[in-house]
Amino acid sequence: MARYGMVIDLDRCTGCRACVEACKVENNTPRGSFWMHVFRFEEGEFPNTRVWFMPRPCMHCDNPPCAKVCPVGARYKRDDGLVATDWKRCIGCRYCEVACPYGVNCFNWKSPEKNYYLDWQDPELTARTNGAIPPYKNPDLEGRYGPEQRHVAGGGHLKGVMEKCTFCVHRVEKGLSPACVANCPLFALHFGDLDDPDSNVSRLLREKRSFRLLEELDTQPRVHYVGSGHAPGAEARQIEHVKGRI
């Protein structure tokens, strides 16, 4: 059994947010939902300032606080290390969301039809698309995955259900890497088997200094950061005002 993990090279990241975009397109996430987020930080006082960037997917912790508290087992840890959300079982209590110290959970506050950037029912828009059905339903997201055959790939973004980064389980099970990794123009994101000594993630972890986020909480994240960076401390400020709106 593979033990999947992600390695993010902070020396390579330029904060372009192609990964955020790739995730939104691949998973058709609703408005205001960012399964992947890229922090853009500034540090220090003028003239000794530094700007740096930190992509933040779900950490897929080995000791996941979210899966621990789920009252119905909709959020669970798979054998291959992915922390999955069964969108057909979730009751929408949002306990996983308040338990997660990384803030990666996204709730579906509205019904899917009303939850997108474009109003597909808009007559002006339908005139331009000649009635073609907009591709906001990725059929792969509806399927069952893993040995448990559960609905863990994001689904139809059902109202009142919790979701988050799936590590693109529907791609990983086909042997592809997650959309964010595949689309990073600078190869800052890497995905692979942490148990395989020849995988690129294992190699990077051997060669470069690494850290994980909030290690002191003992959540044991599967996302490792490598490079000359460090975990954001109390002095880290985001460059721009970030607030997802729906």
Partner 1 sequence: MAVQERLERLPYGLGRFTPAWYALAGVLLALVALGAYAYLRQLIEGLIVTGLRDLGTMRGAAWGLYITFDIYFVGVSFAGITMAALIRLLNLEALKPVSRMAELLTIIALLLAGLVILPDLGQPLRGIVNLFVYARPQSPFFGTFTLVIAGYLFASLVYFYLDGRRDAALCAQVPSRLQGFHRLWAAGYRDTPAERQRHARTSFWLAIAIVPLLVTAHSTLGFVFGLQVGRPGWFSALQAPGFVVMAGVSGIGLLLVVAAILRRVLRLQEELTPAVFAWLGRLLLLLIVIYLYFTAVELLTSLYAGHHHEVALTRALLVGEYSALYWVSMGSLVLALLLLVGQVALRAYSIPLLVLSGLLVNVAAIGKRYLIVVPSQTHGALLPYGVGWYAPTWVEYSIILGLFALGTFLYALFVKVFPIVEVPAVQGGKR
Instruction: Give the binding site for partner 1 (CB under 8 A).
Output: 32-34, 37, 39, 41, 56, 65, 68-74, 89-95, 97-111, 158-162, 213-214, 217-219, 232, 234, 236-238, 241-246
Closest contact distance (angstroms) between CB of 127 and partner 1 is 28
Q: What is the C-alpha to C-alpha distance for residues 208 and 150, in angstroms, rounded to an integer?
A: 37
Cβ pair 210, 202 in contact under 8 A: no
Q: Could you tell me the CA-to-CA distances from 202 to 137, 211, 230 in Å, in that order?
A: 35, 14, 19
Closest contact distance (angstroms) between CB of 76 and partner 1 is 10
* Amino acid present at 231: A
Nearer Cβ to partner 1 (43/173): 43
Nearer Cβ to partner 1 (2/99): 99
Closest contact distance (angstroms) between CB of 237 and partner 1 is 7
Nearer Cβ to partner 1 (118/217): 217
Closest contact distance (angstroms) between CB of 93 and partner 1 is 6
Cβ pair 143, 86 in contact under 8 A: no
Q: What is the C-alpha to C-alpha distance for residues 104 and 164, in angstroms, rounded to an integer?
A: 6
Nearer Cβ to partner 1 (10/213): 213
The DSSP code for 181 is H
Number of separate helices (H) and strands (E) present in the chain: 7, 11
Nearer Cβ to partner 1 (89/203): 89
Closest contact distance (angstroms) between CB of 56 and partner 1 is 7
